[in-house]
Structure 1
């Protein structure tokens, strides 16, 4: 079975491309052209049966991902399925199953069966858990263990996979030579780096990349090239290790595209505000405009409990500067496994950041949404305002709790509402310029 990229190169507009085009208000032929050259990825595993396809990349609405999944502390899958439902309800475009708890296979299968949106996975997590359980240590993992895990997750219907192929011995040596405050903070990056240092071998995900491409081509899995060397604090941003990995990822993008395998590239991390635009431009240049998927970036390290905000600040600039896909950050980041309320807040906050960028990028429909809200506010049409709100339930709750019934103005201004005043005195007079 051919991949979306292979079919696009043959000049075929697939059903998935048509659905993406309809959602994005862009001609289907434009979607096909961009899928063919790799600047758009349609993450749609052939075995994900109830998926509504969505595109990530050039000219499209900035997408939002929500992370869910079990942990060794909270191994029950049921709360994660409720988080999935909440993420979908709040408008997430994708979820990633980061499960490391009991029965990872069952957790993944249930999430994929339950999800109408894209599902991503991190095969290295499961391979590591398996190695620890069977052999007592992650360093006993074999490259065949990794490939078997990738194949199993692809067969189950994972639409995209984070693969830490760019964590090479050269990148680790550059990190050691330059020095870092926080070394490696990526969980997958630390797993594979520990394996490499213990075994004194190159990264098997890098050395067996052609075998990985075989699997991803078979199931049309989009590779999300993981940023295992991403900075975990602003002091480590844009250093030699991060950029060495990024150069490697650019080469791996080329190799995937030659096979007709779709690919995205993952990016930082914790980045000072004044370095974000440069990071986005570097990725787009080195990776030939492949879709860019970023965590944040978080613009400061001092706000645990509010990192959804530090992430949104960076996410908007990142998307304006070229990022295509924002991974949400919740108020629980750096503190705990997020609960369902954290998921809600994380998705809505990331969507606000994405929409703010889409206004600047001229994404179809973005400005129209804001204009409708402005018109509703001018008319003091509260029903329209609440319907147009990105989080209608919260808006209705605030409006209903703090305003008299059927009051035209809000309780912030009361009798001195600027909108009511200007309606009374300005709109009833003819404009002097008409004289």
Structure 2
């Protein structure tokens, strides 16, 4: 029996190779994964043309996944440096890489990335349109935007952010409810500007069915972008954000009618007290589709440390039901991240995802922590390093400050509680001198 997409296969009762791989990774049966894909609560972004892909599932009951952003820009267009970042992200086991390139040899970069990456690849086609056509935004036609989407699909992109929730009605709502930080979504600001300059409806909304046909052909997952995500905690959970979310829920059902897998993108900047409610709203209004969040960043006062502010928000969001975290680096709001910035962002996001998985009771999550605790009790440094989410940093710290006794560290020395409890419980003497 033939099928067009993972969702089409699942609805026909077909277990695909990708479903079997995801089931094995998640400790579930292939049939469980198939049923979740069929109802839209899990997606497996897997473009038919992405031959190097090692598939992952995103959604209900699965491990929280993380995404890493890379890409060339007009100010920083070092092709090789961005490929090096991609290779580091793969080494650190990020499940997803988004190519946000907006300048230069974007297609060449994207094709190289898809060729080498076992991680799923996402893009935001509207970023590429401006650089690819080398036109001012108001001169790009609706058809040209759609053509860029098809080119990305043909190249093998597994999921794309499409800002289809911006339409004339949501724009009216935004204008009638002024914000402190306006629109901070890059894609949202571009399409808003295009609409204002041309007077036309958003082509991603107007020609949504055409986009779905492209996505169904290549099995691209649509990630419905949150153009009106809040860019400050002052603007969170406002009229424009919620109006757009309602539209995204309607578009989700239209996508499912064509067997196109859907993710929903979410905020943004948001106080801690609003995160759980926002996850609930997104899940309810968008019919249980997987929820993909940027952060949320929980305070606006920490430039240079937004990998921390977003990890705090991401852990709470994922524990509340979000399924996919977009990493944020220390360079957020300041510059294109360096390789070291990127690594810090990945580790922070992975910590948030794992902490949430423990809270959600994901199979195997707490057991990892238990193995680490056993290694600590045994003062088995090598085992601790091997279990660490990043083995390089703790190993370096240990080597930089060598203790007198191997079974201690330079913080406590012979006063180490673990060392002394091990000894006293074995009936051995304990000397602190």
Interval of TM-score (by shorter of Structure 1 and Structure 2): over 0.9
| Counterpart in the other structure of 2:298 | 299
Question: Who is 1:433 aligned against?
Answer: none
Q: Distance in 1 between matches of 2:132 and 2:48?
A: 26
Deviations along 1:222-245, one digit per CA (max 9) or x if unpaired, are 000001110001100000000000
The gaps in structure 1 that reach 5 residues or longer are: 430-435
**Does the CA-based 8 Å contact 2:404-2:413 persist in structure 1?**
no
Q: How does 1:13-412 map to 2 (within 5 A)?
A: 13-131=15-133, 133-134=134-135, 137-404=136-403, 407-412=406-411
Measured in 2, the distance between the counterparts of 1:148 and 1:227 equals 22
Shift of 1:78: 0.8
Compared with structure 1, are the counterparts of its residues 421 and 404 closer, same or farther at alpha carbon in structure 2 (3 Å cutoff)?
closer
Shift of 1:90: 1.2
Residues 126, 419 of structure 1: CA spacing in aligned structure 2 closer, same or farther, 3 A cutoff?
same
Distance 1:300 1:60 in 2: 28
Q: Aligned equivalents of 2:187 and 2:331: distance in 1?
A: 20
Matched-pair contact (CA < 8 Å) for 2:102–2:130: no
The Cα offsets for residues 55-105 of structure 1, whole Å up to 9 and x where unpaired, read as 000110000000000000112211111000111111210000000121211
Give the SS at the match of 2:67: strand
User: How far apart, in 1, do the equivalents of 2:223 and 2:395 lie?
Assistant: 38
1:420 to 1:193, Cα distance in 2 relative to 1, 3 A: same
Question: RMSD in angstroms over aligned alpha carbons?
Answer: 1.1
Q: Distance in 2 between matches of 1:92 and 1:403?
A: 32
Picking from 1, 4, 7, the partner of 1:2 is 4
TM-score under structure 2 normalisation? 0.97
Once residues 37 and 256 of structure 2 are traced to their aligned partners in structure 1, the CA distance between those partners, rounded to angstroms, is: 10
Residues 427 and 39 of structure 1, relative CA distance in 2, 3 Å threshold: farther
Per the TM alignment, residue 193 of structure 1 is displaced from its structure 2 partner at its CA by: 0.3
Per-residue deviation at 1:215?
0.1
What is the SS of the residue equivalent to 2:69?
A: strand
Q: CA deviation at 1:405?
A: 6.9
Secondary structure, in 3 states, of the residue corresponding to 2:297? coil
1:129–1:138 CA contact under 8 A, matched in 2: no
- How much has 1:151 moved relative to structure 2? 0.5
Question: What TM-score do the two structures reach when normalised by structure 1?
Answer: 0.96
SS at match of 1:67: strand
Tell me, in whole angstroms, the C-alpha distance in 2 between the residues paired with 1:244 and 1:74. Answer: 36
SS at match of 1:66: strand
In 2, are the aligned partners of 1:91 and 1:347 still within 8 Å (CA)?
no
Deviation at 1:211, TM superposition (A): 0.2
> How many residues of Structure 1 are paired with residues of Structure 2 in the alignment?
426
